[in-house]
Amino acid sequence: MNFFKDVFLSLLCLLGSNALPYDNEYGPDYGNEWIMFIDDKGMNHTMDFSTLPTDDRGIMFGDAYFYLYTRQNNESEILNIPDDDSPIISKNFNSSNELKVIAHGWYSGSNAEWVQNFKDIILRTEDANVIIVDWSELADNPIYPWSACSTRYVGKRTAKLLDKFSQANQLNYVHLIGHSLGAHVMGYTGMFTNVTVDRITGIKQ
Ligand SMILES: *[C@@H]1O[C@H](CO)[C@@H](O)[C@H](O)[C@H]1NC(C)=O
Ligand SMILES: *[C@@H]1O[C@H](CO)[C@@H](O)[C@H](O)[C@H]1NC(C)=O
Ligand SMILES: *[C@@H]1O[C@H](CO)[C@@H](O)[C@H](O)[C@H]1NC(C)=O
Ligand SMILES: *[C@@H]1O[C@H](CO)[C@@H](O)[C@H](O)[C@H]1NC(C)=O
């Protein structure tokens, strides 16, 4: 049943490329929780994002994973989002330092050379906390709109990570950095998170 729902929603995502522009005149939360779109036959449909899974798996078939690096750990520390109310405890996070979160784009992953180099250069330049978002399971999809649709889900997960992380760790300065579709991930992260985001950098292809 869920499988068919996923496929159905994915198809809606594809059609959603004809979405009408963001406009609140259509009602509350337009462009946020729902949009209208015109399909190939000129039919007018409503696409309800509020029915998409919020904390479950991605709308496609994959998930997002989070890895923390600091000057204290060359090996990544895996950050898991707990299912219950408990916060995320980290061995290596240093609350004196800035938190930088990096998200890769389409057809990429946390092991991409530029992502690892970027993280290394940051840590060489400053004593920072760097979290890499790996959403490659969803980004490695030949159909671009499917990956594009997943950015909202990944942003929601990243927002949740920051929220749970901030329960146990004082966040000093939060800088979100995304490349390509990763910039969309960071936009959604900023939209959904309850922590203060100080800066978002979107890097174009
Ligand atoms: C689509 O339907 C909505 C609600 O029924 C309406 O407000 C909107 O004007 C329609 N859009 C177009 C382009 O027909
Ligand atoms: C991390 O790796 C760099 C370069 O490979 C090395 O210079 C540094 O000593 C390592 N730090 C730790 C804590 O292992
Ligand atoms: C945390 O970072 C500060 C520099 O910003 C440093 O002085 C301090 O030693 C670090 N703490 C730990 C436990 O590494
Ligand atoms: C942010 O706070 C609101 C209100 O307390 C809560 O409903 C929401 O789930 C929180 N967001 C996240 C991502 O935890």
DSSP state of 34: E
Q: How far is CA 205 from CA 18, 100, 115, 136, in A?
A: 23, 20, 14, 17
Nearest CA to ligand 4 atom 3: 194
Ligand 4 atom closest to 194 (CA): 1
Reported as half-sphere exposure (CB side, CA atoms, 13 A), residue 52 has a value of: 24
**Is the minimum distance from the CB of 85 to ligand 4 under 6 angstroms?**
no
Closest residue by Cα to residue 137 from 57, 68, 77:
57
**Is the minimum distance from the CB of 112 to ligand 1 under 6 angstroms?**
no
Rounded Cα gap, residues 109 and 149, in angstroms: 17
Region 108-132: what's the mean pLDDT? 95
Among the residues of 82-130, which ranges form H helices? 113-125
Could you say which ligand is closest to the alpha carbon of residue 159? 4
The verdict on pTM exceeding 0.85 is: no
Report the chain's mean pLDDT, rounded to a whole number.
Answer: 82
Residue that wins the pLDDT comparison between 53 and 95: 95
Query: pLDDT tens-digit profile of 28-50?
Result: 778 777 777 666 567 777 766 66
50 SS3 class = helix
Token duo for residue 64: 């997002």
Q: Which of 163, 193, 197 to mutate to test the pocket of ligand 4 (most atoms within 8 A of CB)?
A: 163
Rounded Cα gap, residues 196 and 174, in angstroms: 7
Rounded Cα gap, residues 162 and 108, in angstroms: 22
Q: What is the pLDDT of residue 29?
A: 79
Bridge partner residues of 174 (DSSP): 99
Q: How far is CA 131 from CA 105, 137, 141, in A?
A: 15, 18, 23
Query: pLDDT tens-digit profile of 123-156?
Result: 999 999 999 999 999 988 766 777 788 898 999 9
Whether pLDDT at 116 is above 90: yes
Contact 130, 69 (CB under 8 A): yes
Query: Ligand 2: distance of its center to the CA of 110 in Å?
Result: 19
Q: Read off the pLDDT band of 21 (50, 70, 90).
A: very low
Rounded Cα gap, residues 46 and 154, in angstroms: 23
Query: pLDDT tens-digit profile of 161-183?
Result: 999 999 999 999 999 999 989 99
DSSP state of 84: S
